[in-house]
Amino acid sequence: MKTSIKKTFLDIYKEEQWLNEQGENGLMLIGYHSGEYEFEDVSPVKYQYKIDMPDYTGRKKKEYLDFLEQTGISVVAEYGGRVYLRKNAADGPLDLYTEKKEVTKQMNKKYSHFFGIAISQFIFGIFMLIQTLYHVQPKGVPFWIAVVIDAGLIISGIIFFILGVQKHRKYSQPKEEKDIWE
């Protein structure tokens, strides 16, 4: 039986956790597009999921994905630079990156979108606030509405920046673990 679930995540780590919970319940991810996950119930089989963000493009990316297929990891979907991977839990753990450098690189990529959103909203908010102060008469409701919207963009940019820093700190490797890798 097929099931579609519409869900949105800002945190890729939580998205992976949620997918793995679905896999533990016997749901096999068979497709993903624009926040809509399509599952098939295959109980009692259990699946593991990973979201990868490979650096490769073109032929190298195809070779990389073919290599993953040969190792028993299924490529379920590609969307927005992400590759959704699936592996039967009975075939062993789904570990993609084992080197410290690669693990750190993946973690940085997974949360860099917070910084991109933060910078763009902050700069756009500052630009709009300057334009409002120079070109709109400081009397009346339109002026104050524009100022509130501009301030909202600036605050939103600051919030996304703080979220990015928090996620980066939360999911980065502790110093003790980094020493073990070296």
Q: What is the mean pLDDT of the chain?
A: 83
pLDDT in tens, 46-80: 899 988 888 778 889 889 889 888 888 889 998 87
- Residue given tokens 């509130």 in the structure block: 148
Radius of gyration of the chain (CA): 21
Answer whether residue 182 shows pLDDT above 50. no
Query: Can you give the pTM of this predicted structure?
Result: 0.66
CA atoms within 13 A of residue 167's CA, in its CB half-sphere = 20
Q: Which residues contact 46 (CB under 8 A, 6 or more apart)?
A: 23, 24, 26, 88, 89, 90
Please report how many Cα atoms fall inside a 13 Å half-sphere around the Cα of residue 172, on the Cβ side: 16
- pLDDT value of residue 180: 47
Half-sphere exposure of 72 (CA within 13 A, CB side): 11
Give tens-digit pLDDT for 83-118. Answer: 899 998 888 888 776 555 665 666 666 677 788 889
pLDDT in tens, 122-181: 999 999 999 888 888 777 888 888 899 999 999 999 999 998 888 777 766 555 555 444
pLDDT digits (tens, 9 = 90+) for 7-16: 988 777 888 8
CB 111 within 8 A of CB 81: no
